[in-house]
Copies of this chain bind each other. A is one copy, B any other.
Amino acid sequence: MPVTTIEWENDHIRMIDQTRLPLELVHLKIDKVEVLAEAIKSLRVRGAPAIGVAGAFGILLGIQNHADEDREGFFKLLEETAIYLNATRPTAVNLSWALNRMQAVANSNAGQDVPSLKQMLRNEALEIWEEDRRTCRALGQHGQALLEDGSRILTHCNTGALATADYGTAIGVVFAANEAGKKVHVYADETRPLLQGARLNVWELMNEGIDVTLICDNTAAAVMQKGEIDCCIVGADRIAANGDTANKIGTYNVAVLAEKHNIPFYIAAPYSTIDFNITGGDQIPIEQRAPEEVTEGFGRRTAPPNTKVYSPAFDVTPNDLITAIITEAGVIYPPFEANLRARTSQTKSQNPR
């Protein structure tokens, strides 16, 4: 049973501190929005869908102690909290999607009193969390139909339960194949600089008894050259209307390698990751990470002092390198622009079109 990454308990968030994995499974109790913001920035919780859920719960933290008699101040605080949380990470659209959805509930019930608004927001946040769980399972079912018994899958970054509320996107597909009785094998890119593949994907897969081999990111090419990969499945942090996909740095590299070796390259992501407001990947903001994540990421300095580092958190894979996008509404093939819009998500989770 995959772990529950994040959930709401009474008046606080209970979530796994992913920076402590795989050595320690530590749950954090977070009851302040500032503590949550730090946790998002420092990747204690990460993965686009999980960040969306965290954002919704963060709104609850922000407003729960506000005085019941102050309606005007309540809406001001709600907006400030959303802006504050939205600034924590710029690329994953799921965060702004969840925050917008929470604000929309309040705004469309502007006549209600504060206790009622608090209750509605609480229900909406829990619904976002529940939807994420349903979405991942639906996505996993659609995706696993693409795999066969014995399939060998390359993954990049963590896209399992830890990247969502509790089941995963790309690794959710692997879980679903495993549950369907298919013996699959995963090659997990370690995913520099923060090693989410090594620390998190490998941990999740081993927990489920799924055969997994860890490789350095630069080794995927050699493994493909040997004919050891049947398909690549990765997640997404934001998908433009035309299918261009921002995902963890190195994803574009994998896509180029897959094209060279005629290997299917799949994106697995919920509709909440699709940003129909932008037409192409060049409009996706790319977060830059701190140089120290590269130069002293393992607790020991591994480059000279004052080394200049270029460390974008994400890259953009152009749609022509993507075989299909696996969503909760089915497997979407090119042309993505038309086919993404044509399909309706079974949930409310899609972004505005």
- A311 in contact with B219 (CB, 8 Å): yes
**CB of A200 to closest CB in B, whole Å:** 10
A126 in contact (CB, < 8 A): no
Residues of B with C-beta under 8 A to A299: 298-300
A260 in contact (CB, < 8 A): yes
State the number of copies, please. 2
**CB of A21 to closest CB in B, whole Å:** 9
A26 in contact (CB, < 8 A): no
- B217 in contact with A310 (CB, 8 Å): no
The count of chain A contact residues (Cβ–Cβ below 8 Å) is: 55
Among the interface residues A191, A199, A215, A222, which one has the most CB atoms of the partner chain B within 10 A? Answer: A222
| Residue of B22, B195, B307, B310 touching A219 (CB-CB under 8 A) | B310
A256 in contact (CB, < 8 A): yes
Main secondary structure of the interface of A (DSSP, over half): mixed
**CB of A252 to closest CB in B, whole Å:** 5
**CB of A46 to closest CB in B, whole Å:** 16
| Residue of B212, B216, B253 touching A311 (CB-CB under 8 A) | B216
Q: Known interface pairs A256-B257, A260-B260. Does A311 touch B202 (Cβ–Cβ under 8 Å)? A: no
- A308 in contact with B23 (CB, 8 Å): no
- A22 in contact with B223 (CB, 8 Å): no
Residues of B with C-beta under 8 A to A264: none
A107 in contact (CB, < 8 A): no
Residues of B with C-beta under 8 A to A218: 189, 191-192, 217-218, 249-250, 253
A190 in contact (CB, < 8 A): yes
A203 in contact (CB, < 8 A): yes
- B222 in contact with A309 (CB, 8 Å): no
User: When chains A and B are docked, how far (Å) is the Cα of A202 from the Cα of B211?
Assistant: 37
The 8 A CB mask of A251-282 against B (1 = contact, 0 = none) is 01100110110000000000000000000000
- A312 in contact with B222 (CB, 8 Å): yes
- A215 in contact with B310 (CB, 8 Å): yes
Q: Known interface pairs A249-B219, A308-B213. Does A294 touch B198 (Cβ–Cβ under 8 Å)? A: yes
- A198 in contact with B295 (CB, 8 Å): yes
Residues of B with C-beta under 8 A to A301: 22-23
A302 in contact (CB, < 8 A): yes
User: When chains A and B are docked, how far (Å) is the Cα of A187 from the Cα of B257?
Assistant: 20
Q: Known interface pairs A190-B294, A310-B223. Does A216 touch B302 (Cβ–Cβ under 8 Å)? A: no
- B190 in contact with A192 (CB, 8 Å): yes
| Residue of B219, B256, B297 touching A298 (CB-CB under 8 A) | B297
Can you list 13 A-B contacts with CB-CB less than 8 angstroms, sorted by A residue number?
Answer: A189-B218, A190-B294, A191-B218, A203-B304, A206-B306, A212-B307, A215-B309, A215-B311, A218-B249, A219-B250, A222-B315, A225-B316, A298-B300
Interface residues of A (CB under 8 A from B): 22-23, 187, 189-193, 195, 198-199, 202-203, 206, 211-223, 225, 249-250, 252-253, 256-257, 259-260, 294-295, 297-304, 306-312, 315-316
